[in-house]
């Protein structure tokens, strides 16, 4: 049985108090709770402070290009369906340059878990407005206040019928670990957007801010996470400030369950050539 120690790697280099510490801890807790072994887990990260996740998590890791963690993670999963695959990145990485990949990952529905560390700012490049920065946010690139409306990740994912939509908070790693565990257990693409405060460059969206305003949907026995339209209304009413499993669709088939001819044995384990029978079958389609 694996332990937390098994999923620890090099010492993190984030700023003291960074919310990404909580995300790393929650991912490790979830891996242990799921009974995973380090050699069965791959973390693919993008660029930004959150991009270090693939180095700090004790499993296989791949540090991809800016905004490209999702296509890379999907390729890893398709090559070896026995692996548990995480894609990890920030709000700029995922909802800026990586937005096109995000939308198509939802519709493709490959069985990976996408964890976005949303701090409403570009942290690595020292404090510019990001796609999720609130209107009026004063940053290095918007000293008089941001005028663009922010991306709303939960509503966007719900509108695209994402099969698993959740949100968590770095100030509650125990609950976040439970959310991530449920995301991994879900068969298909899972989004976990995490409010991960940047203590250096965003003094507004702080730990105190979220502790005061967040509503935990998992603690509400009347909330039905299987009703997509109700989920959209609840998120809108709370101005996106919710945590927990927002929506789960258990009927939607994962890509590798639905695509024709996808073998049960991982592609990475197959003989890298066509059998004579398969070759003849392919030739026959052109005759």
pLDDT of residue 40: 96
User: What does the pLDDT average to over 250-273?
Assistant: 87
pLDDT of residue 33: 97
* C-beta of residue 110 within 8 angstroms of C-beta of residue 117: no
- Whole-number Å distance between alpha carbons of 4 and 43: 16
| Model pLDDT for residues 38-96, shown as the tens digit of each residue | 999 999 999 999 999 999 999 999 999 999 999 999 999 999 999 999 999 999 999 99
User: What does the pLDDT average to over 135-162?
Assistant: 95
pLDDT of residue 265: 87
Say if 151 falls within a structural domain.
Answer: yes
pLDDT of residue 272 exceeding 80: no
pLDDT of residue 279: 86
Say if 177 falls within a structural domain.
Answer: yes
Q: List own/partner pairs for 257-266 with CB under 8 A and 24 or more apart.
A: 257/187, 258/109, 266/79, 266/80, 266/81, 266/82
User: Is the four-CA dihedral 208, 212, 28, 151 of positive or negative sign?
Assistant: negative
User: What does the pLDDT average to over 141-152?
Assistant: 94
* C-beta of residue 159 within 8 angstroms of C-beta of residue 151: no
SS3 assignment, position 115: strand
| Model pLDDT for residues 84-130, shown as the tens digit of each residue | 999 999 999 999 999 999 999 999 999 999 999 999 999 999 999 99
pLDDT of residue 86: 98
Q: How confident is the model at residue 270 (pLDDT cuts 50, 70, 90)?
A: confident
Taking the CB of residue 251, how many other CB atoms lie within 10 A of it? 6
Arithmetic mean of pLDDT over the chain: 95
Say if 180 falls within a structural domain.
Answer: yes
pLDDT of residue 161: 97
User: What does the pLDDT average to over 251-266?
Assistant: 90
pLDDT of residue 28 exceeding 90: yes
- Whole-number Å distance between alpha carbons of 202 and 139: 8
Say if 155 falls within a structural domain.
Answer: yes
pLDDT of residue 268: 84
* C-beta of residue 19 within 8 angstroms of C-beta of residue 194: yes
- Whole-number Å distance between alpha carbons of 262 and 246: 31
Say if 139 falls within a structural domain.
Answer: yes
Say if 284 falls within a structural domain.
Answer: no
pLDDT of residue 18 exceeding 80: yes
pLDDT of residue 220: 97
Say if 127 falls within a structural domain.
Answer: yes
User: What does the pLDDT average to over 272-282?
Assistant: 84
pLDDT of residue 261: 84
User: What does the pLDDT average to over 193-198?
Assistant: 98
User: What does the pLDDT average to over 25-42?
Assistant: 97
Task: Please state, for a pLDDT cut of 70, what percent of the chain lies above it.
Answer: 100
| Range(s) of the domain holding residue 72 | 4-260
Say if 287 falls within a structural domain.
Answer: no
Q: What is the count of structural domains for the chain? A: 1
User: What does the pLDDT average to over 236-245?
Assistant: 98
Map tokens 């890893």 to a residue: 76
Instruction: Tell me the DSSP string of 208-277.
Output: HHHHHH-EEGGG-TT--TT-HHHHHHHHHHTTT-EEEEEEE-SSSPPHHHHSTT--SS-GGGS-SS--HH
pLDDT of residue 266 exceeding 80: yes
CATH number at residue 114: 3.40.50.970
In a 13 Å sphere around the CA of 167, the CA atoms on its Cβ side amount to 24
């Amino acid at each position: 049985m694996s332990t937390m120690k098994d999923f620890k790697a090099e010492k993190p280099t984030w700023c003291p108090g960074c919310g990404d510490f909580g995300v790393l801890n929650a991912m490790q807790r979830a891996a242990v709770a799921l009974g995973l072994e380090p050699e069965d887990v791959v973390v693919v990260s993008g660029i930004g402070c959150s991009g270090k996740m693939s180095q700090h998590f004790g499993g296989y890791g791949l540090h991809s290009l800016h905004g490209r963690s999702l296509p890379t993670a999907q390729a890893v999963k398709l090559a070896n369906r026995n692996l548990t695959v995480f894609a990890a990145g920030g709000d700029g990485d995922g909802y800026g340059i990586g937005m096109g990949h995000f939308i198509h990952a939802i519709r493709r529905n490959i069985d990976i878990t996408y964890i976005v560390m949303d701090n409403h700012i570009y942290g690595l490049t020292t404090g510019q407005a990001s796609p999720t920065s609130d209107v009026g946010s004063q940053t290095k690139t918007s000293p008089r206040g941001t005028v663009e409306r922010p991306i709303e990740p939960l509503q966007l994912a719900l509108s695209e019928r994402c099969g698993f939509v959740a949100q968590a908070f770095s100030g509650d790693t125990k609950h976040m670990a439970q959310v991530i565990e449920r995301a991994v257990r879900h068969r298909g693409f899972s989004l976990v957007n995490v409010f991960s405060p940047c203590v250096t460059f965003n003094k507004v969206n702080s730990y105190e801010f979220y502790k005061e305003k967040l509503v935990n949907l998992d603690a509400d026995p009347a909330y039905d996470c299987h009703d997509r339209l109700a989920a959209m209304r609840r998120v809108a009413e709370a101005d996106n400030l919710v945590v927990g499993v927002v929506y789960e669709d258990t009927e939607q088939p994962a890509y590798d369950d639905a695509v024709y001819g996808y073998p049960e044995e991982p592609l990475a384990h197959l003989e890298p050539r066509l059998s004579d029978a398969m070759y003849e079958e392919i030739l026959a389609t052109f005759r």
